[in-house]
Structure 1
Amino acid sequence: WIATEFWYTTGDFSWPWLLLGNGFSHEVWAVQWYEYTGIFGGTLWVLLSNILLYEAWRRRRDAKAWTWAGAVVLLPILVSLGIFWSYEAPDEGSVTVSVVQPNIDCYDKFAAGTEQMQERLLLSMIEEAPAGSDFIVLPETVWPYAYDERYLPQAPVVTKIREILREKSSGAMIVTGAETIVYYPPEEQTETARQNERGAFYDKFNSTLGIDTTACLPIHHKGRLVIGVESTPTWIFKALKFLVIDLGGTVGQLGVGEPGPAFVHNGVSVGTPICYEGLYGNFYGGFVREGARALLISSND
């Protein structure tokens, strides 16, 4: 069963909430030992607990069976409580983070003719962010356009954001979701690449950008995609393309990224996972292994 769950999380079809070990997301106090075993340790715990409790119920008069069942159920909880209550967060300083939520009606967000209005709204909200912010975080796919990464540093919206930061919050970095496009030579095209009307190969990415007053513009490409909305397995993509659901935002088979290097601003390294990536513990931990000391999640939930 655990091998099947592992295959499931690394395969083309993946929905992590179906894993048994993910059933404790509201009872994190009981599974602090996940830092050593991961989600699959929780799956093993659920399976063993159910098997032993069933055997104890079947052999009702066997005290030894009940002892084993009770030990398997309770000992991990006691260990978890010990970890939970003894943990002391190291004092590594702090940063000030402002969150910008435009509250745009989801039915209007992608309606034709609203792009410039939405862009003006977002820029005005960035202007209102507290001047002392170190990071200003915007949602996933918040901008109404897709940006060619070759020209992204010179894009008008990036230029406007930098002007606002110089005037209002020179010490801040904007961490924002965006849809970006990467073009490839024919010999370097990926499995997920598509062709435009001119025959050029490209990938669309659900991305996060780090924009500050410098010329540097780090980009993270989302690496865990929502099945049926952002991703259709390549081996059935052509056959089932017509079934892809349009729920707004970045839709269709997208390019796939990895955790990648952290965004560094004022000496602080931050990871910038996007929405669904937060459901994959090992992938999510990759941002920390790449040097992130804080995680700023962009989502459109």
Structure 2
Amino acid sequence: MKAVQFSRFGGPEVLRIVDLPDPHPRAAEIRIRVRAAGITAGDWKKRQGLMDEELPQTLGYEAAGIVDEIGDDVCGVAVGDRVFGASPYGAAQAELAVLSPWAPIPYSLDYVRAAAIPAAAETAARSLDQLGVTAGSTVLVNGASGSVGSAAVQLAVERGARVIGVGSPGTHDTLRSLGAEPVAYGEGMAERVRAITPSGVDVALDVAGSGVLPELVELAGAPEHVITVADFRGAQQTGVRFSRGDTGRATYALGQVARMAETGRFSVKIGRTFPLAEVAQAHRVGQAGTVRGKLVLFVA
């Protein structure tokens, strides 16, 4: 099969499309013929050598496609089903990918949009769980218009929470459509939040890593009421929790988001798509930060 791989760390130029042996699912896993694979910031961190030192490495956490092989102890899915999910081996940017977990693709979603969901939905749901967000909570999401941020907004609204979404003015109409009360980022952000919720917020989630953790702690009342998924150094300096997948993943979120999407209660914004062979260019665009919305590779 064709797959994205790199044999040295560096910029996008190190990425290659290579021939690798076809993977096969183990127990509790399935294999899909990939139709689309999402790109996350973790992909270029991995490519730069910021994640681990093993070489060579493949890329890709999330994908959507058609089931073509099923491992032992798997039920509720059949060859030919349309599914999306996560690669436990970080090898979803390929013609074939093994998935665990996965969920059926609702008819309201195409492969590209489905492939954009898994990482954002799991990260958002896990963070909301760790913050204890329930009906009646007031939660602030810093970076609310990005893929993880918008997922967090929609999942928090689904739980019955009041959501304050911090983003640029150009995103405010979108944030309102998702159910958030928008607030502009930048100097004076905390004062703008207090203007609409004078007592502050119950909890805050930072997905932007924009250096605002001290302000979020002030608004939420204590470091333990704040989680970041994007500012590891800031978390160390402020005592805020840094959420990562190795503390346990919210795999149930894939099925929940699929059900929400089927009834129009969850949406995902696609920024650009690229063919698998143009993965290097996709990385350049992603790191430049000039495209709003998710970047997705499609596989012919």
TM-score of the alignment, normalized to the shorter chain, above 0.5: no
Larger Rg: 1
* More helix per residue: 1
> What TM-score do you get using the length of structure 1 for normalisation?
0.24
Structure number with higher relative contact order (C-alpha < 8 Å, ≥ 6 residues apart): 2
> What TM-score do you get using the length of structure 2 for normalisation?
0.24
* More strand per residue: 2
